[in-house]
Amino acid sequence: MAEYSDRKDRTITTRWQITGDLAKFILTQDLTHLDDWGGKEAVREVLPEHYQKNFDLVQTDLVNCLLEEKNRKTAMGFAECMGNWGDWFHSQLDQGKKVIYHYFVHTIEPMLALDLAPLCLEVLSGLSAALYTDGCEEGIDTMHAEGYPDHLCSSNMGGAGFLLKGYVPQPDAFLKGTTPCDPSNRVYEYLAHKFNAPLIVVETPYYMNERALKFLTNEMKRMIGKLEKIAGKKIDEDKLRESIKLSNETGEYILKIQELRKLVPCPDTGWHRPADTIFTAQMGTPFSRDYFKGLYEVVKERADKGQGVIPEGKKEIRLAWGYTWECFDLPFFNWLENKHGAIYTEDCLTLFPADYAMIDTTNMETMIEGLAQRLMQVPMARQAMSWSDTWINDFVDVARAYKIDALAIGGHMACKHFWALNKLLTDKVKEKTGVPALRFEMDMMDKRFTSPSELKRIMDDFFATF
């Protein structure tokens, strides 16, 4: 039996480790549905004892979704990567490495090159929301109890609450790019103040031009300087190069998968898209590379055979998600495929620009500039912290390149900048491509705002109008 930590400050990350191992165990059994063995309770009975408590927490629908034939390989890849990441992260903590809580827009290569232990606050919220019946609501509610209102972003609030509860390690510093928004900036400011930890701020300019890139490159240098102070050493150029090469490789796979999604029928499933974002926050690690490599192989195999992911006989409805996904019900996207034939092409959080991947690793200057370019272009941040036409044009391009039938936009309630743009975005996309849009309110992480059953009702009503 694997050894799992019982430290309170590793509650969340240990949970993930166990779930990763549990998932690997279940996925290797001869099951296509928990009912094959008599339901969740019956399966629980046959599980090794150390998995049972964790199994109780995992969403039943998610397990059944991942057991479906079309999802198994990717699910296994996800479980392996999650488990491997958990092992690695705990080993960093055991070695006494300093913990840097960072916003998900930051790829972590510089932190890895400084032997720091990066932990993405939003992944704390997202992975918990995705896997468990109790989601990250405890974290969100903890922040509410401190007086911070529900119109702040649950992607920050969940993880922030876990920090306050002591379920994750104490921070040595916080790292925040100023993209995309005020709510996220404010939560990081609060946390840095609360924990009396340094807050490293990286200003991401509003523009995407030479001037902005020059400025942001300098910001990256400043960031590295501050991280060096925390690490107590200078950044190792070779280590930086090594992790950037890994993230380049990862980026290549991401772009290749993106191209394959343009095919009709679409060879990629939708349930794992929030998981994709979770692993892009780990770009620079072998786990992230392995995850996307595995995903690419699955998608490529289907593409080579001309296979889609919807049931035989259904007409494929090609959706793009104009903003974020919901993270608390991954099987929802599977349900869309199976019930409505509605596939997932892209969304704002996973739409990578074509020039995103390749960072020139020749020397420190080229690498730092490449990292700056990445930060400027990272999905969602790129659209959010810039002019509205970036967002609009990106989705006009998606509508055309992916041949979409409709734009679905679950507008995250905390995103004021999105809601100020919502009509322009949908009107302009429709004007230029004829593609209609569905807009509805939801919260990315908190399933109490728009529940899974309500989401389904909204989509049922929408597809009835097709």
Partner 1 sequence: MLILGCDVGAITTKTVIFGDDGIVAYDITANNGNLTKVVEKSVDNVISKAGVSLDGIDVKAGTGMGERYIPFDHITEGIIKCLAVAAHRIHPHTRTIVDMGGLVTTAISINEKGKVLEYRTSDKCASGCGFFLRLAAQALEMKVEDFGKLILPYEESAHMGTQCAVFGESEIVSHINDGVEPEKIAAGINHSLGRSVTTMINRIGGIKDIVATGGVAKNKGVIRAIEETLGMEVITLSSIDEQLLGALGAALCAQQRVQQG
Partner 2 sequence: MTAIEELKKLPSREKNPYIKEWKADGRKIVGFTCHYAPKEIFAAAGIFPYRLEARGTKETGLADVYYHRFNCTYSRCILQEGLSGGYDFLDGVCFLNGCEQIRRMYEVWQEAVPSTDYQYMVTVPHSIYDEGFEWYKEEIFRFKEDLMSNFSLRLNNSDLQLSIGVYNESKHLLKELYELRKADNPPISGTEAMKIIFAADIMPREKYNTLLKKSLKQIRSRDGIKDYKARIMIGGSPLDDTQLIEIIESLGGIVVTDTLCGGSRNFQEFVEVEQDGDPLAAIARCYYYSNPCPRMLGHFKSRLQYTEKIAKEANVDGIILQRVVFCDNHAVENTMLTDELEPKGIPVLNLEREHMLTDVGRMRTRIEAFIERISRR
Nearer to partner 1, 37 or 440 (CB): 440
Which of 427, 412, 429, 403 is CA-nearest to residue 319?
403
**Strand boundaries in 292-451, DSSP class E:** 317-321, 342-347, 406-412, 437-442
CA nearest 102: which of 272, 282, 242, 270? 282
Angstrom distance (rounded) from CA 341 to CA 315: 6
Minimum distance from CB of 327 to partner 1 (Å)? 19
Instruction: Return the one option of partner 1, partner 2, none that residue 417 interacts with (CB less than 5 to 8 A, by type).
Output: partner 2
Q: Least CB distance from residue 135 to partner 1, whole Å?
A: 19
Distance CA 338, CA 334 (A): 6
Residue 457 interacts with which of partner 1, partner 2, none, CB < 5 to 8 Å by class: partner 1
* Interaction between residue 465 and partner 1 (CB under 8 A): yes
Which of 154/450 has CB closer to partner 1?
A: 450
Among partner 1, partner 2, none, the one that 1 touches (CB under a kind-dependent 5 to 8 A) is none
From residue 424 to residue 453, the character string flagging contacts with partner 1 as x (rule: CB under 8 A) and all else as - is: ------x-----xx-xxx-------xx--x
The minimum distance between CB 103 and partner 1, in angstroms, equals 28
- Between residues 25 and 463, which has the closer beta carbon with respect to partner 1? 463
Q: How far is CA 92 from the centre of its chain?
A: 22
389 lies in the site for partner 1, by CB under 8 A: no
88 contact choice in partner 2, partner 1, none (CB below 5 to 8 Å, kind-dependent): none
What's the closest the beta carbon of residue 183 comes to partner 2, in angstroms?
4
99 binds, among partner 2, partner 1, none (CB under 5 to 8 A by kind): none
Q: Choosing among partner 1, partner 2, none, which partner's interface includes residue 41 (Cβ < 5 to 8 Å by kind)?
A: none
The distance of closest approach from Cβ of residue 414 to partner 2 in the complex, given in angstroms and rounded to an integer, is: 8
Q: Whose Cβ is closer to partner 1: residue 46's or residue 424's?
A: 424
Closest approach of Cβ 364 to partner 2, in Å? 19
Decide: is 208 part of the binding site for partner 1 (CB under 8 A): no
- Interface positions with partner 2 (CB under 8 A): 146-149, 151-152, 176, 178, 181-183, 185-190, 192-193, 199, 201, 203, 205-207, 215, 218-219, 222, 387-389, 411, 413-417, 419-424, 441
Which of 66, 2, 57 lies closest to 29 in space, CA to CA? 66
Beta-carbon count within 10 A of 388 CB: 14
As to burial, measured by CB atoms within 10 angstroms (0-12 exposed, 13-18 middle, 19+ buried), residue 50 is middle
Q: How far apart are CA 130 and CA 62, in angstroms?
A: 8
**Nearest 5 degrees, angle CA 389-CA 394-CA 399?**
125
- Per DSSP bridges, beta strands 117-120 and 199-202 are unpaired
Query: Which SS3 state, helix, strand or coil, does residue 172 take?
Result: coil
Residue 317 vs 458, nearer CB to partner 2? 458
CA–CA gap between residue 439 and residue 347 (Å, rounded): 14
What does 178 interact with, of partner 1, partner 2, none (CB < 5 to 8 A by kind)?
A: partner 2
Question: How many whole angstroms separate alpha carbon 334 and alpha carbon 310?
Answer: 9
**189 touches 196 (CB < 8 A):** no
Going by C-beta distance under 8 Å and a sequence separation of 6 or more, which residues neighbour residue 237? 113, 363, 364, 367
Cα–Cα distance for residue pair 464/466, rounded to 1 Å: 6
Select 196 or 465, whichever has its Cβ closest to partner 1.
465
Please, what is the minimum distance in Å from the beta carbon of residue 391 to partner 2?
Answer: 10
How many other C-beta atoms lie within 10 A of the C-beta of residue 192? 19
Binding site for partner 1 (CB under 8 A): 423, 430, 436-437, 439-441, 449-450, 453, 457, 460-465
